[in-house]
Amino acid sequence: MCGFAGLANLDGAPADASVVAAMTHLVAHRGPDDRGEHTFSLRGRGVDCAVGFHRLKILDLSDRGHQPMASPSSDVILALNGEIYNAFDYQAELDAAGVSLRSRSDAEIVLHLYERYGLEGFLDRLNGMLAMMIADLRRHQIHLVRDHFGIKPLSWTRVGASILFASEARAFLAHPGFTAAIAERHLDEQLAFRYVAGGASLLKGVHLLRPGHRLRITPDGVTTTRYASIPDATDAGLTPEAAVRATQFQPDAKLARLRPGANLAAAIERRLDIFSEGGGDHLSNWLNYEMQTFLVDVLMRQDKMLMAHGTENRVPFLDRRIVAFARTLKASHLIGDAGKAIVKALARQVFPPAFVDRAKGAFNLPLSQYFRGRRFGELMEEAWLPGMKRRGLVSETAVRALWRRSLSAPALTEVLWIPVALEVWAQQFVDGRRA
């Protein structure tokens, strides 16, 4: 719905507004309706921090919802990407306290809730999709926050004495001190599962703030804290490693052909840690694991595709209250043939049976047809296969053979797409050119 980018110089060096402007420009597609910048001091002297914002106007179409937004005292600065579903539930409370709202923006209510209840108190009250930066100049702190389920993305990295943060990691490419490089220790996981779980990423040194976590920035450094947990699920009947392996897209044998010497031991161990985070009986944490890994990746892909066109989306089933209720249900109500039974029962009260019981439809891309086309063949021969051979991350010979087999075996299309997408991404982010 919006996008922001910023930096904090922990050594007190002046923030270069032109660098932040360039970083913000790289997320302009996320909010084509308005743009704003704000500079401030983390130490209380000089200007060592800056944040830029691109806004997609949804709730308040006027300029009164302009961001970054400052409190009346200018002591608190907010950049909020997302929507707080229950923000206006607190309007009467704020009115009674004598707070005069200037806009119809949920961001302004969030700002006042922070001032009224402090960090923990206002986070406990928020229900929605969000990624935000809130700078408290009185306490010399910046807080980066991501919602409970990872609906909205937020990346950060450290460059020298500077902390960079943004809605998309592409913004870091505009900083002169940032060098894009592939984190090869996560490459096997990417090829096997199609994404990197947890707070890691394929860009070296770049971190994704995990769902339900916040990052505090002070002149002394950064600390990450988990502020919200997903409730334990019911017993799903799988051992931890079986649950993790069940989500693996690329089998070990095929992965070994694609990338000789591939080793998933570290990735499996890290995912087992995620699986066990809920506490209690590890079998009850299977859905917890899925929600902290696969769901986060799906939400990230959805965000990137829609925000590339300045289009917002809604995920109503990820309302905190609905998730809390769903986690009390037996697994039989959530998966298998009886899956979505409760949702369908509710839907039948509103929609006709033909709509409720229609076959499930996927949002399939026409990859098979595209991979057989002339343009794809040209790009493979002229750019992508040579790039793979030069980079040496995957076996160019194995990918070429896979491509040839996929021409007569469409089922291999998605398998082929993994190394191809990796190379396209590497050429754009690491090599700095469009394929």
Three-class SS of 80-128 = EEEEECCHHHHHHHHHHCCCCCCCCCHHHHHHHHHHHHHHHHHHHHCCE
Handedness of CA 43, 44, 49, 54 (dihedral sign): positive
Across all residues in the chain, what is the average pLDDT? 90
Furthest-apart CA atoms within the chain: distance in Å: 70
- Cα torsion 110, 123, 12, 180 to 10°: value is -100
What integer pLDDT is reported at residue 24 of this predicted model?
Answer: 97
The answer to whether 281 and 134 have CB atoms below 8 angstroms apart is no
Which of 71-75, 236-240, 417-421, 423-427 has the least mean pLDDT?
A: 236-240
Question: 200: Cβ–Cβ under 8 A, 6 or more apart, which residues?
Answer: 183, 186, 207, 208, 270
Write down the pTM of the prediction.
0.91
Q: Indicate the pLDDT class of residue 435, thresholds 50, 70 and 90.
A: very low
Amino acid identity for residue 304 in this structure: K
Q: Indicate the pLDDT class of residue 281, thresholds 50, 70 and 90.
A: low
Instruction: Kindly tell me if the per-residue pLDDT of 172 is higher than 70.
Output: yes
Q: For residue 184, give the DSSP letter.
A: G
Which of 44-58, 114-128, 243-257 has the least mean pLDDT?
A: 243-257
In the chain, the domains with their CATH numbers are 1-328 (3.60.20.10), 367-429 (no CATH)
Mean pLDDT over 178-189 rounds to 95
Cα dist. 83→69, 75, 108, 119 in Å? 15, 23, 12, 18
Element (H, E) at 226: strand 221-226
Mean pLDDT over 357-374 rounds to 85
Q: For residue 352, how many other CB atoms are within 10 A of its CB?
A: 9
What integer pLDDT is reported at residue 235 of this predicted model?
Answer: 52
**What is the rounded CA–CA span in Å between residue 417 and residue 332?**
34
Higher pLDDT residue, 151 or 313? 151
3-32 residue pLDDT tens: 999 999 999 999 999 999 999 999 999 998
211-261 residue pLDDT tens: 999 999 999 999 999 999 887 655 555 577 877 887 788 788 878 888 888
